[in-house]
Chains A and B, each alone.
Chain A
């Protein structure tokens, strides 16, 4: 794996003195999908804007494909495509023209075949002669993606691509992202929907109050940080947990026909073997055993609300 984007101790204070980024360090590998997860105001847009050249960093450095975003901004920016959080388009402009404009802006000559390919991929081909104002919100978002892809970037930033978007469209968006990944584009997307990160990311970064709290493989993150639960289902309901099982700190479910055991997957001993032995000793008859992994959501809530002190 090669690092395509490298952010080092990036800080950003706005003119009013507010520090929106407090020293973010992050490496992004070529070809991956990284989801930046964080509540509103966490600094996700600020981070993207700084990497893309829309705001100037207060300190720190960013390199894209080895090019510094300030001293070699042309080479760095050519590699990046940005889909902004807010829909911003010229209402009277035609779809085709606005995508063509974006391509030119990034220094590329005309390439009708390439633009056709992009428009088709985003299901915009039939709308190519329409003015932007005639399109639905979802279509406009696709136009923004088409504009961002017009110069064939290696890295694509999607700032909250599915915020305020209906379920159908969100699934479409995920499909588009997966398709882009297959074509070799590195994708960084921000979201405050956990299920989105869970569904499409390879790695997840959690950001809050201008700080990157962690970045990890999604699976590792869930395995490491996640508590797992075993649900031991009984053939006959019981009214109370037998005393002999009290060491396991079990809870009984509502109907009383399942014992729930919570354990840390990264603990030395999970205690599963002794638990099952002890349950058998009490004479209870097992109907089924299920494991359940806690979602990113729980991890996220724990992290963000967790008091560092």
Chain B
């Protein structure tokens, strides 16, 4: 392992983040606050409680996931897309490093940034609602695995994309709808039976359900399935990355 190279990539990516630290910190604080004002107050006044948890507190895990997933994808995809776009990827390709090390550097940095923002949102939320975390280890595991797996997905998107339109295609057209329909702001049990069944095909449901369980002990689907889903998703992303590594797809001509 070329640890110096991994550190160089990681540091380089984090430097970009630290250059705009105020922005990286303030924007999740602001957006979280807005969510509480809009959803917590407007809707929360009608839906008082979901399965014994106040509506404001109920949406916190979903809010964190929403940001963590979107940020993981955008951080990792732009991280690897820019070198392709600027041509600086020649240096990565001619360096004594392998693809795994490149992935660790970029995905590690993207996941770190997403994790940071996730924690900022959690911290901000405590100012608005009472939050309890019943299963802290499960909470940490879900959060970290989500950051990592969606950063892996973002990395794949960044490798795949050959222009800026394609960069936003997956997040906008696929991930955002899945998250909003994945029980971020409601419990699956509130839906009509047919929709409940359809929803079960949305992988994000398992993620948010499991994450929420780690907070309040309530879940839409059994926790086992949530765990399996996130592990399977991570495995799938790793498999795709492995395939890219072997074939040099879209990287080496």
Are A and B a genuine interacting pair, yes or no?
Answer: yes
B82 contacts partner chain A, Cβ-Cβ < 8 Å: yes
- Flag if A52 contacts B94 (CB, 8 Å): yes
B57 contacts partner chain A, Cβ-Cβ < 8 Å: no
Proximity bits, B63-95, A CB within 8 Å = 1, else 0? 000000000000000000010001110111111
- Flag if B8 contacts A88 (CB, 8 Å): no
A105 contacts partner chain B, Cβ-Cβ < 8 Å: yes
The one of A14, A90, A101, A108 in contact with B82, judged by C-beta atoms closer than 8 angstroms, is A90
- Flag if A54 contacts B94 (CB, 8 Å): yes
Cα A90 to Cα B8 with chains together (Å): 15
Cα A43 to Cα B5 with chains together (Å): 30
Q: For residues 65 through 113 of chain A, which have their beta carbon under 8 Å from a beta carbon of chain B?
A: 73-78, 80, 82, 84, 86, 88-93, 97, 100-109
Which residue of chain A is the closest to B248 with respect to CB atoms? A56
CB neighbours (8 Å) of B86 from chain A are: 88-91
A53 contacts partner chain B, Cβ-Cβ < 8 Å: yes
Which residue of chain A is the closest to B87 with respect to CB atoms? A88
A40 contacts partner chain B, Cβ-Cβ < 8 Å: no
- Flag if A89 contacts B2 (CB, 8 Å): no
B253 contacts partner chain A, Cβ-Cβ < 8 Å: yes
- Flag if B2 contacts A88 (CB, 8 Å): no
A220 contacts partner chain B, Cβ-Cβ < 8 Å: no
Count, chain A residues at interface, CB 8 A? 35
The one of B7, B91, B248 in contact with A102, judged by C-beta atoms closer than 8 angstroms, is B91
- Flag if A104 contacts B4 (CB, 8 Å): yes
CB neighbours (8 Å) of B19 from chain A are: 92
B4 to chain A minimum Cβ distance, whole angstroms, is 5
CB neighbours (8 Å) of B87 from chain A are: 84, 86, 88
A302 contacts partner chain B, Cβ-Cβ < 8 Å: no
Q: A14-B253, A55-B252, A97-B15 are in contact. Are A105 and B90 (CB under 8 A)?
A: no
- Flag if B90 contacts A88 (CB, 8 Å): yes
CB neighbours (8 Å) of B90 from chain A are: 54, 82, 84, 88
Q: A55-B253, A86-B87 are in contact. Are A104 and B7 (CB under 8 A)?
A: yes
B168 to chain A minimum Cβ distance, whole angstroms, is 21
Cα A100 to Cα B4 with chains together (Å): 11
Proximity bits, A132-176, B CB within 8 Å = 1, else 0? 000000000000000100000000000000000000000000000
A15 contacts partner chain B, Cβ-Cβ < 8 Å: yes
- Most chain B CB neighbours (cut-off 10 Å) among A97, A100, A103, A106: A106
CB neighbours (8 Å) of A93 from chain B are: 12
CB neighbours (8 Å) of A80 from chain B are: 94
Chain A contacts to B: CB under 8 angstroms? 14-15, 52-56, 73-78, 80, 82, 84, 86, 88-93, 97, 100-109, 147
User: Which 3 A-B residue pairings sit nearest by Cβ, starting from the closest?
Assistant: A104-B8, A88-B87, A74-B96
Q: Add 7 more A-B contacts to A52-B93, A104-B8, A105-B8 (CB < 8 A).
A: A14-B253, A53-B93, A54-B94, A56-B253, A82-B94, A105-B95, A107-B97
